Structure 1
Amino acid sequence: MQSDGADVYEVLQRAQRAGLFIGHVPKIVECLRGPERRSVVMEYIEGPTLSEYVSSGSISPAAMKYLFLQLCTAVRELHECINPPVIHRDLKPSNIIISPSGPQLIDFGIARLWHEDAECDTTHFGTRRYAPPEQFGFGQTSVRSDIYALGKVLFFCLTGRQPPNAMDVSSCEEAGVVHSIARVICKACAFDPRERYASVRELSSAVSSLPQQAWMKRPGPNSSGHPAPFDSMVNQAHGAFSNMRGAASSFIRMLRRIPRWAGAIWNLLLLCNWFLCILGSQFAIFYPNAFDTALPFWFRVMEYDLLTVVAPAAIVSILLDKRGLWKRIPVLRNCGQLQVCLVGTGVIVMCFTVTVCASLIALPKP
């Protein structure tokens, strides 16, 4: 692959190892540099491409709205969660996999990082129907270049046809797209990047605000003109889930702006509190109160060590600022923040479950 694309894979790998939540990109296992070529080992994503999914005709327009909003979330993660933003530059139906967890973006072979001082890209290529004009030498590609491609993808999702090179409202309506959605598509696909939506968030907001009737299937021989009730229910539930994920991503980006020295002080406070928990638990085990004296010694050890040592240790592991730790111990980068949270939560639940079960044996019967 060419240089920019290989650099993007390395940036994605570093971001994933640092615990950055990028839920719609395959996990990058390894990036290998050779004298003349670079190789990338990544997660295999099971599922049809968006092109195959739309061609199967198994999704209603109402559910398609949810799918496209998820796709916007995927692109927004690249633009907002990584600094400088990652520009995919080759968004098209065949580079989007529909997995059980949602759309996954693949093929970052011509992706690049945004360079503020650049006037144009060093390489000019992409899929003609989906690539914006600036990608062929008319300027530097930016987040608005991916917005252009998303507009073309939206046209394909609604019509099942390859989009025309130049988009206008009349051509969209001739293809069966309602006027309100056609206007959104044409703004996203404007020739001048300054006339497009300024961000994927703006495009997503415009799509979300469209009336539900705009996404309903037009009446035909086998259609009542209304989406299936299940599609609407899933659309609403997953829309709320997407908003929660967006809020979580924003919160994580805010935490990453906290200075390292503040994170070190926070870690010291957490460890001091955990140390106090250890001292308190040992004191309670060997110098029990009147009620605990009647309990077996083994139960006191289990109760206090699990609930005031092990469980708090899991909480501390979740709350620690791990930036310095990951930098000093690279092998820990493979344990992202999500995995730490899941394991920590599992340990806490296990501690309480074991303690409750042991209390059924050790506590005196009434």
Structure 2
Amino acid sequence: MAIPWDLRRRGLKDSIRHDKRVREAIKQNLRELIAEETIITSDGKKLVKIPVRYLDQYRFIFDRGTRGRGVGQGQGDVGDIIASEDDAPTPGQAGDQPGHAIYEAEFALDELTRLMLEDLALPWIEEKHKDQVKTTTVQYNDIRKKGPLANLDKRRTLRENLKRQAARGKSKVGKITDDDLRYRVPEIHEEFHSNCAVYLLMDRSGSMTTEKKYITKSFFFWMVRFLRLKYNTVETIFIAHDTEAAIVPEKDFFILSNSGGTMCSSAYTLALDHIVKHHPPARWNNYVFHFSDGDNFADDNPQCLTLLGDLLDVSAMVGYGEVNYDEFFGAYPGRGAYRPQWSTLYKEFSAIRHPRFVPVTIEKRDQVYEALKKFLTVRDAIPA
């Protein structure tokens, strides 16, 4: 027996509304989700659970003791508060009223990454010679009479119904039939971009505390997920440094322990040499992203400034992120406003006036998303 159209439509309407609500919840909480520890520590293969407020349906409910408060017959003046919960508990007190139902929506990590970072892209990509990087996008440009209910195009379906009704001399929407249904058809589009190599530089010195390290690794975690999802064949090079720098495998990059002093110039020198040997700027769009707490050996700062200029000469963009998280204020947030003291290295870099040098600062976990946005805001290719 065929399912009545009104029931199918109601189920589809609820499903679409539910999906929209979930997506809105994710986008409204991007700052927190980006730094969520259960996501960062996942292996990327299992589903990720996101807390979402339950989407309640309209229904009749029992009175909860608000009878006669400002509605219906009786006395009342303009400005009276309507149905205030006099007995509602204050924060920290026990109460007898139901709270908001929360459930956990499950997402594959790739799907979650797409929702969170779909509007971002590597900036200033220029056409280069030799091979190109392929990206794949899905667009809905074709319409057919058959397809899955999830791809139903409601507007075109109603238009077909109105056309059929008009041919019968009627000027209103009638009963929807299978002949009226129109479905969107997904089309896969491949775009080719010039070669891209992304260098990820991380400070692993002893001054990088547990929280600083977590913030830094959170940034690089989402950067890598974004690159793999958006650009199929982009090359990523992982460099960890203290006073010495080394290219390390990706799995080691995220689990390295911290020790030693800090000389950021070691990472810049290694990245520069690797670019010259393996990714010449004539054929590659090179991107360098470095994260540190800025606690650099003071005598090394001038060398860093020089090397940064050299990196800008061979890169489409250089990004520097400084994490300034104070352990004392983090442990005791009620001690007053925290006033970060940015490092001498950051002050040196702040004087740089190059259009493709992008510095950011992070004081706490929920600022990781803003750093990603600043680094990955789409910009047209312009002469360096």
Range class of TM-score, shorter chain: under 0.3
TM-score scaled by length of structure 1: 0.26
Give the alignment's TM-score, normalised by structure 2: 0.25
Choose between structure 1 and 2: higher helix proportion: 1
Rg: which structure is higher?
2
